[in-house]
A and B are shown apart, each in its own frame.
Chain A
């Protein structure tokens, strides 16, 4: 297996798909290493499902290649590809029982003795004993697992998952996330998982590609994407960020000094995506610490003064809005760990952060601060 590893990579090369004048996928290139759990993350309409369907063969690319182990499969029919899909709607065959649903792919390839494999696969997804039921007799979570078993039994080189957990309720979704990850580790097949749920992508995938308007905004390990986003879109799609409009004028030593709203800040050079012209100075809300007076700020930290305008207690943390002197509102999350007290609405506070937790992103000239409102779900492109 190990020596085959590089040969089994899935590579998309300059893949594009246009529907009329609408470009769904725009010159997309990426490599999914064999055996990895890869997530395509984006809002609806960003082209992630179209990308998946092109890998499956259900959509023909306008241009570009889909390479699997060096072989271009972009023009093969879906039934000729060593790839299987778990559909968003599951698409189980209503006229067949569970065993026949799972055996469907094997039978079409002329395999007669399917009983053992079906039983093993149903055991893997913990549905032993459900062989003779019909799909309509199963719950959503069970149907989802049948869909997974039906695809996995074929030992595809790549398993495609199209929002497979979208129709499940929150608790079941968490459970299935853990389950999917376990199964992926167990079978060692490359998983390409399409989702709009950033938490789902981050908890399961080794590598996440954030898509926006048919392009990949950033690709990397979840922690890397979260801690050091490459664009303002990623910074706000993956969790929240306080992005302050600033201007930079080149690096000075190991730091990039910036000016924002008349105040001077700096960011380490290796935390700067750009060091010239208009930039965003970004800090995650949980990296902002609130203290009452300036002399409580640790040395080396940078600070902004403001007034608390809103405090939401959400159990594990309290989420504050801090209005700055120039009118923008910053989000700050403080863990309710029993250390440090609560800040009342209207209190004057100093928000401070370690410059090593800040980051610099390119900014379109004329764009103002971009701070996400408290408790808002990340949706679509930043306004």
Chain B
């Protein structure tokens, strides 16, 4: 988000303006905006309005009989009533995965940014490398890793962390692990960018001013990595909340998240008004969470 803000601020400043034809020069930023704006209008704003309209269709309609826009606001409370457990599960799983990803990702980003030396670029490639394979393939691979006859489950059973019939696949744990794995790079990369800019001399100064390693981290490193931390958690949390592949492949209907419900509403049950209403509810819920989070995190850099 900071990067976007910087890009936006940078566009009008296209070097020293030539004195001739200042009028055209002033229009240039808008001309540059035009293609992108047109794209967003056609492929984002129009479908969004279409979806909003669909969420207010008469719920008794169907593909064969056709839909009528009856301003059926009742679709929303009905959708919440029917699927609030999936909503709660989405935020619960995404939250748990976020905590796990922070525990894994912060030390990783810190190590790459500050300690890796000449291995820095190689390690960054390693973080991004899984992205070269399809999301589906990666998640299917986790199915193998977590399978009942797999090495991991065998090991956990041997050390009695799992009972003799205990399993990982088709449990909430599997879904959370899948979410953590699939979205980890989105957390690590912005965090890395923040930590890479961290001036080591500030840590020396903190150390010189009686701050031990833990206090120096809490008082200097952490606050200075805040922009990256906020960007990373948002980039992780938002897609993780809406995800349905992990629950689909690694869980059972008992682990289904709201994404699975929307998926089935549109593609299986063909209940378009409900699917659209659920989509808008998810969007609103995520926006609310993000807004509260940014207010609490309190950085001027992001909002």
Q: CB-CB < 8 A to A94: which residues of B?
A: 202, 224
Chain A minimum-CB-distance residue to B222: A95
Does B70 sit within 8 A of A, measured CB to CB?
no
Q: Is A89 an interface residue (CB 8 A)?
A: yes
Within 8 A of A (CB), among B192-209: 199, 201-202, 204-209
Instruction: Give every chain B residue within 8 A of A83 (Cβ-Cβ).
Output: 208
Of the stretches A103-111, A177-185, A335-343, the one at the interface is: A103-111
Shortest CB–CB separation between residue A40 and chain B, in angstroms?
18
Report how far A38 CA is from B274 CA in the complex, Å. 79
User: Does any Cβ of A come within 8 Å of B210's Cβ?
Assistant: yes
**Cβ–Cβ contact A105 & B207, under 8 A:** no
A79 within 8 A of B: yes
In the complex, what distance in Å separates the CA atom of A278 from the CA atom of B212? 55
Residue of B nearest to A108 (CB): B210
A154→B202 CA distance, assembly (Å) = 18
Does A84 sit at the interface, judged by CB under 8 A?
Answer: yes
- A104 contacts B209, CB within 8 Å? yes
Chain A contacts with B in 191-205, Cβ cutoff 8 A: none
A368 CB to nearest chain B CB (Å):
44
Give the most central of A77, A78, A84: most B CB within 10 Å.
Answer: A78
8 Å CB contact of B209 from A58, A89, A105: A105
In Å, the complex CA distance between A150 and B211 comes to 14
Task: Tell whether, in the assembled complex, residue A93 and residue B220 are in contact, meaning their CB atoms are under 8 Å apart.
Answer: yes
Q: Which of B59-87 contact A (CB under 8 A)?
A: none
A87 at the interface (CB under 8 A from B): yes
Q: Is the CB of B211 within 8 A of A93?
A: no
Within 8 Å CB of B226, what residues of A? Answer: 95
- On chain A, the residues within 8 Å of B253 by CB distance are none
Q: Mark A122-164, 1 if CB is under 8 A from B, else 0.
A: 0000000000000000000000000000110010000000000
- Return the chain B residue nearest A84 by Cβ: B208
Contact between chains at B224 and A108 (CB < 8 Å): no
Q: Given that A79-B212, A95-B223, A108-B215 are contacting pairs, would A89 and B207 also be in contact in the complex, using a CB cutoff of 8 Å?
A: no
Is the beta-carbon distance between B211 and A79 smaller than 8 angstroms? yes
Asked if A78 and B202 make an inter-chain contact with CB atoms under 8 angstroms apart, the answer reads no
State the majority secondary structure of interface residues on B: helix
Using A77-B212, A79-B212, A95-B223 as known contacts, say yes or no to A87 and B207 having CB atoms under 8 A apart. no
For residue B200, which residue of chain A has the nearest CB? A91
A95 to B206, CA, bound (A): 13
Distance in Å: Cβ of A167 to nearest Cβ of chain B: 13
Chain B interface residue count: which class?
10 to 19
Residues of B within 8 A of A57 (CB): 207-208
Contacts of A56 in B (CB 8 A): 208
Could you tell me the distance in whole angstroms from the C-beta of B205 to the nearest C-beta in chain A?
4
A83 (CB) vs chain B CBs: closest residue: B208
How far is B205's CA from A56's CA once the two chains are assembled, in angstroms?
A: 10
| Chain A: minimal CB distance from B210 (Å) | 4
Expressed in whole angstroms, the minimum distance between the Cβ of A214 and any Cβ of chain B is: 22
A162 to B: closest C-beta gap in Å: 10
With A91-B199, A93-B202 as contacts: A58 and B224 at CB distance below 8 Å:
no
Does chain B have a CB within 8 A of A34? no
Q: Are A85 and B205 in contact (CB under 8 A)?
A: yes
Residues on A with C-beta less than 8 A from B209 are 79, 84, 104-105, 108, 150-151, 154
Instruction: Type the 1/0 row for A23-64, where 1 means its CB is closer than 8 Å to any CB of B.
Output: 000000000000000000000000000000000111000000
A91-B199, A94-B224, A95-B224 as given contacts; A154 in contact with B210, CB under 8 Å = yes
Contacts of A92 in B (CB 8 A): 205
- Rounded to whole angstroms, the CA-CA distance of A151 and B210 in the bound complex is 11
- Within the complex, the shortest CB–CB distance from A10 to chain B, in Å, comes to 16
Q: Given A77-B212, A95-B223, A108-B211, are A58 and B206 also a contact pair (CB < 8 Å)? A: no
**Chain B residues closer than 8 Å to A58, beta-carbon distance:** 204, 207-208
Q: Is the CB of B207 within 8 A of A91?
A: no
Decide: A87 near B205, CB < 8 A? Known: A95-B223, A108-B215. Answer: yes
Point out the residue from A89, A105, A150 that lies within 8 Å of B201, measured CB to CB: A89
Residue in B closest to A100 when the chains form the complex, CB atoms = B219
B207 / chain A contacts, CB cutoff of 8 Å: 57-58, 77-79
Q: What are 30 A-to-B residue pairs whose CB atoms are below 8 Å?
A: A56-B208, A57-B208, A58-B204, A58-B207, A58-B208, A77-B207, A77-B212, A78-B208, A79-B210, A79-B212, A84-B209, A85-B205, A85-B208, A87-B205, A89-B201, A91-B201, A91-B204, A92-B205, A93-B205, A93-B220, A95-B220, A104-B206, A104-B209, A104-B219, A105-B209, A105-B210, A108-B206, A108-B210, A108-B215, A154-B210
Residues of B bordering A, CB below 8 Å: 199, 201-202, 204-212, 215, 219-220, 223-224, 226
- The 10 A-B residue pairs with the shortest CB-CB distance, nearest first, are A91-B205, A105-B209, A108-B210, A78-B207, A91-B201, A95-B223, A108-B211, A79-B210, A85-B208, A104-B209
Residues of A within 8 A of B (CB): 56-58, 77-79, 83-85, 87, 89, 91-95, 104-105, 108-109, 150-151, 154
15 additional A-B pairs beyond A79-B212, A109-B210, beta carbons within 8 Å, are A57-B208, A77-B212, A78-B207, A78-B208, A84-B208, A87-B205, A89-B201, A91-B199, A91-B201, A93-B220, A104-B206, A104-B211, A108-B209, A108-B210, A150-B209
